[in-house]
């Protein structure tokens, strides 16, 4: 795992070396073991290395035989040995044993079609010294990040936004459009970022830059292609076979590899392949609901893991918020990213690489919300849209909660008109109440329409999965996984998000993913062959963080209140509305914890990136 950055310019001068080194130094956490640079009159390229494969000879940049192609690369290619053999048979000569070198020779041989041959996680840049062109690529699901900016004949790219901000001529400006989307989704929705004129290269995309022109191409779309001939038994066998193959591929390394372990099926299934190897868990001292350590510890004993755990106390969690938001580059209101920071920190004290369970929910139908279409099917059949809307408006006016209220509200609209992903923080109407600048406000549903229009023939459950793979997975799940592991110089690998695993997942019928019996139905049965039944069938818990409890504590209520009353807060929000949310939650009138946390995190982040000098 590494960090890359670079810039092209018609005015490369003697300051270029200092600039690229500064851009690299700010992401040293991504690669503390080594650095490398390529500088000529057209481009400066930088690289930070976390040594995982070919420890002695894998330094970058890496070149082809004629030195006309220059590569910097962040990630791992798991089929590099097969590709290397193929390229050698075609006459290419290698000078390292690294997976990185496969990319530069592969690009020389296959051009941009190289990406279609790769199995792995990657974000890389290849400079062609002959035609002065730059080629950028990002992996299928967006496991590895890549950002870019283009202004005044300067093209800049980097693994993290903070590198781009150090380019001297770049003018840092706040992007209000990102705030609007963040308030609804809890993350900055790609390709937009919180910085004007900095964009995220989307998952499954390449970018070509030449003579000031930019061409972006999508080479991968995670669409489902259901095969009705695959029955339950066949599905379970196929999942078991491909996942074991994926885990073994993801364990390839010249350094020790460990795994994360929670009480859920995803990381537990991964950990079942780690007998006598290290596993890591964190939890909170707030009872079993917020502490998975006992579950994980019991499993670790049963499958013989070298188990390590840590209890996160309240004070250190809150103290870590600014540090985490700095490493995130952009505000992320998912509190589990802070817990992830601590488990990555724990793991980094023992290993350089870990495997984790991200992606299983999106590929195999794991979120409980995916059951909603089945639950609402009869309700939608009995009542028209007009009647459902009338009932929803009626119950929203009732000043107290009652059983069935949430069902009526959520059952108002069809999936495409209500589901924007796993987190739905502020609606368009709520943003109208809290934001001072109402001109930026949009309906979050509109942002999802293009994705839904791409899959009109899917059933509702599959539509929800496809939307999450295109938005939530890269915008939240994989973003925090990359940033929190890299903040601790730890490589995190995700064997569920393997292209070969996806080829099986995309074929599964809906009821093999989500049905009345369970979520991730076929996956659970496959995992059950290696895990205790109580683990394989355990309901989805996520990574619970006790924010709602803390916000009823006077100490943390006061911390948030001070932020809500600050000058920064007054710049963006109607603070009386924010304080009302906070007081209602503190007095146990309503659970506003997620909305409160969303705004608090933004204010912490803004102070770091726009107020501190």
Residue 267: exposed, middle, or buried by beta-carbon count in 10 A (0-12, 13-18, 19+)? buried
Q: Which of 77, 81, 61 is nearest to 122 (CA)?
A: 77
Tokens of 375: 């639950």
Tell me the pLDDT tens digit for each residue of 374-428. Answer: 988 888 888 888 899 888 888 888 877 778 888 888 888 889 999 999 899 999 9
State the pLDDT at residue 403: 81
3-state secondary structure of 91: coil
Asked if pLDDT for residue 321 goes beyond 70, the answer is yes
Asked if pLDDT for residue 265 goes beyond 70, the answer is yes
C-alpha span between 252 and 503 (Å, rounded)? 21
State the pLDDT at residue 612: 67
Specify whether 2 is catalytic: yes
CATH homologous superfamily of 2-218 equals Aminohydrolase, N-terminal nucleophile (Ntn) domain (3.60.20.10)
Query: The whole model's pTM is what?
Result: 0.95
Mean pLDDT score of the chain, rounded to an integer?
94
Average confidence (pLDDT) over 46-57? 80
Sequence-distant (6+) residues with CB within 8 A of 252 are: 53, 76, 78
Tell me the pLDDT tens digit for each residue of 429-456. Answer: 999 999 999 999 999 999 999 999 999 9
Lowest-confidence segment of 87-91, 97-101, 286-290, 496-500 by average pLDDT = 286-290
Average confidence (pLDDT) over 287-305? 85
Written as one string, the DSSP assignment of 21-70 is HHHHHTTGGG-BSEEEEEE-SSEEEEEEE---SSTTT--SSEE-TTS-EE
Catalytic residue among 2, 5, 259, 337: 2
For the chain, counts of helices (H) and of strands (E): 28, 17
Average confidence (pLDDT) over 69-87? 96
Asked if pLDDT for residue 542 goes beyond 80, the answer is no
Asked if pLDDT for residue 128 goes beyond 80, the answer is yes
State the pLDDT at residue 288: 64
State the pLDDT at residue 13: 72
Average confidence (pLDDT) over 63-71? 96
Average confidence (pLDDT) over 496-515? 97
Sequence-distant (6+) residues with CB within 8 A of 415 are: 372, 373, 460, 463, 464
Average confidence (pLDDT) over 181-197? 97
> In this structure, how many other beta carbons lie within 10 angstroms of the beta carbon of residue 396?
11
Lowest-confidence segment of 5-14, 545-554, 601-610 by average pLDDT = 5-14
CA distances from 414 to 171, 323, 380, 406, 442 (A): 43, 40, 8, 15, 19
State the pLDDT at residue 197: 97
Asked if pLDDT for residue 264 goes beyond 90, the answer is no
Lowest-confidence segment of 55-69, 267-281, 531-545 by average pLDDT = 531-545
Q: Which of 584, 579, 573 is nearest to 548 (CA)?
A: 584
Asked if pLDDT for residue 204 goes beyond 60, the answer is yes
3-state secondary structure of 479: helix
User: Is the CB of residue 242 less than 8 Å from the CB of residue 500?
Assistant: yes
State the pLDDT at residue 287: 62
Average confidence (pLDDT) over 36-52? 92
Residue 51's pLDDT band, with cuts at 50, 70 and 90, is confident
State the pLDDT at residue 200: 98
């Amino acid at each position: 795992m590494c960090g890359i950055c670079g810039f092209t310019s018609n005015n490369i001068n003697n300051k270029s070396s200092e600039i690229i080194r500064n851009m690299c130094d700010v992401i040293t956490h991504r690669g503390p073991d080594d650095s490398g640079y390529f500088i000529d009159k057209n481009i400066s390229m930088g690289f930070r290395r976390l040594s995982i494969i070919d420890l002695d000879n894998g330094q970058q940049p890496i070149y082809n035989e004629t030195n006309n192609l220059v590569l910097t690369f962040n990630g791992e290619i798991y089929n590099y040995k097969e590709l290397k053999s193929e390229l050698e048979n075609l006459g290419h000569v290698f000078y390292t044993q690294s997976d990185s070198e496969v990319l530069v020779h592969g690009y020389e041989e296959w051009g941009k079609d190289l990406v279609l041959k790769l199995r792995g996680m990657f974000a890389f840049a290849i400079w062609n010294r002959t035609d002065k062109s730059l080629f950028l690529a990002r992996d299928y699901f967006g496991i590895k990040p890549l950002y870019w900016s283009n202004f005044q004949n300067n093209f800049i790219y980097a693994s993290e936004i903070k590198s781009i901000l150090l380019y001297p001529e770049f003018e840092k400006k706040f992007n209000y459009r990102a705030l609007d989307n963040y308030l609804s989704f809890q993350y900055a929705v790609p390709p937009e970022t919180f910085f004007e004129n900095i964009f995220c290269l989307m998952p499954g995309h390449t970018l070509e830059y030449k003579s000031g022109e930019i061409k972006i191409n999508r080479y991968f779309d995670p669409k489902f292609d259901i095969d009705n001939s695959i029955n339950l038994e066949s599905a379970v066998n196929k999942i078991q076979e491909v996942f074991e193959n994926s885990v073994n591929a993801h364990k390839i390394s010249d350094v020790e590899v460990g795994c994360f372990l929670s009480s859920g099926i995803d990381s537990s299934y991964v950990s079942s392949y780690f007998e006598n190897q290290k596993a890591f868990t964190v939890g909170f001292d707030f009872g079993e609901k917020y502490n998975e350590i006992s579950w994980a510890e019991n499993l670790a004993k049963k499958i013989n893991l070298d188990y390590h755990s840590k209890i996160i106390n309240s004070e250190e969690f809150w103290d870590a918020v600014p540090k985490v938001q700095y490493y995130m580059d952009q505000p992320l209101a998912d509190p589990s990213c802070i817990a992830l920071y601590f488990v990555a920190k724990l793991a980094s004290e023992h290993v350089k690489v870990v495997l984790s369970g991200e992606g299983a929910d999106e590929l195999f139908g794991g979120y409980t919300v995916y059951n909603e279409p089945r639950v609402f099917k009869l309700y939608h059949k009995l009542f028209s849209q007009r009647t459902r809307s009338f009932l929803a408006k009626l119950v929203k006016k009732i000043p107290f909660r009652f059983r069935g209220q949430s069902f009526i509200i959520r059952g108002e609209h069809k999936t495409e008109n209500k589901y924007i992903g796993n987190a739905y923080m502020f609606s368009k109407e709520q943003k109208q109440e809290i934001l001072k600048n109402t001109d930026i406000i949009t309906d979050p549903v509109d942002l999802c329409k293009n994705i839904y229009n791409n899959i009109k023939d899917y059933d509702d459950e599959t539509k929800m999965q496809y939307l999450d793979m295109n938005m939530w997975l890269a915008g939240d799940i994989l973003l925090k996984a990359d940033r929190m592991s890299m903040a601790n110089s730890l490589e995190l690998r995700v064997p569920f998000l393997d292209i070969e695993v996806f080829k099986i997942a995309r074929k599964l019928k809906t009821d093999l993913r989500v049905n009345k019996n369970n979520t991730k139905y076929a996956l659970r049965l496959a995992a059950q062959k290696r895990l205790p039944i109580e683990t394989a069938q355990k309901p989805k818990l996520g990574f619970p963080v006790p924010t709602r409890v803390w916000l009823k504590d006077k100490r943390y209520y006061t911390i948030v209140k001070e932020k809500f009353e600050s000058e920064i807060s007054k710049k963006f929000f109607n603070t009386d509305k924010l304080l009302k949310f906070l007081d209602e939650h503190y007095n146990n009138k309503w659970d506003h914890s997620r909305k409160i946390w969303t705004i608090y995190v933004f204010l912490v982040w803004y102070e770091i990136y726009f107020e501190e000098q």
